[in-house]
Structure 1
């Protein structure tokens, strides 16, 4: 950590939760440039990246009570930046083709350290959400979505009807979709494109 920063990330986080603006200013000084550079890789515009970065920090301050549940404020900042950028681009581009290009850009560039950190966070979330599904439903979801098997192949392997497989998949997608939307603020389809491709 550079010498100019006297507080650790954890100390800053605690002070922001307590409403200390000076700690929020230090968080901004510490991470705004790197977040802006991160966002710029996807929006290809310095001005837009700066605007989106400002909006991310505004959200952090407005929802500072949520920081109590956050383990790493740095990881949280990058996750917020990614979600906010995706949502902003989605609103700006209703075209499926344009959205697919943006998603592919995210997928192609996720080998950096920050991306690995985010991938790990999202995958842990997805695993946790899957673990809460009933056993048979979870098994069918993994066979269909993670192993790419068809409904017919899964039905044959498990000795159940194709319709039963379909019903399990519809149920799991409803549960996961609601959970992902509530907790991460993105759609399940975006999460699956990013991490089960």
Structure 2
């Protein structure tokens, strides 16, 4: 059986072009949090950032036939996110406030592709640290990070209280936080996870 998590982006792109839903799910899993963090940095609004990322993956699936195997997938996804953020800002007519911070952000990262940024390395480090967590805590934290579930959804799925879920996530963050302190994006990621 094909192990999608071991495939590189180009191999996954080839499979997605053939409408392989499992390859698409792997890309979604691999890039959701990274892209969400970029959208959140630009928009400063969690709900808007989630909407942008939902649109990102809807767009990716709808355009999968036109993807080429040589595409830089991370750069392609980042470009879609950036364009969707600009569209959203335009729609909300809050250009003057947001475009200033967005222009500054884009200026700082002008010549960098997503691969040059540390978010992917941070996510790999985070995956490693999650794997080191004790059993129940690891399951809860994975549901929060990988499945993007709310405290309530996790509590219902595991038949435990919201308070227990919140405490386990908080404890996991305390264990992981020192290990990620070398990455510039970790405070934003941990803020998102603790919400």
Scaled by the length of structure 2, the TM-score of the pair is 0.51
Distance 1:72 1:106 in 2: 21
* Partner residue, 2:109: 110
Distance 2:114 2:25 in 1: 25
* Partner residue, 1:16: 16
Q: Number of aligned pairs?
A: 115
Bigger radius of gyration among the two: 1
Distance 1:106 1:34 in 2: 16
Partners of 1:75 and 1:117 within 8 A in 2? no
Unaligned residue ranges in structure 2 (runs of 5+): 118-195
Partners of 1:110 and 1:116 within 8 A in 2? no
* Structure 1 stretches of at least 4 aligned residues deviating more than 6 Å after TM superposition: 115-118
* Partner residue, 1:78: 78
State the structure with bigger RCO (CA 8 A, min sep 6), 1 or 2: 2
* Partner residue, 2:126: none
* Partner residue, 1:64: 64
Scaled by the length of structure 1, the TM-score of the pair is 0.51
Partners of 2:10 and 2:73 within 8 A in 1? yes
* Partner residue, 2:100: 101
Unaligned residue ranges in structure 1 (runs of 5+): 119-197
Partners of 1:36 and 1:53 within 8 A in 2? yes
* Partner residue, 1:43: 43
Spell out, residue by residue over 1:85-125, the C-alpha distance to the aligned partner (whole angstroms, 9 max, x if none).
Answer: 11111111165x3364244333344268446969xxxxxxx
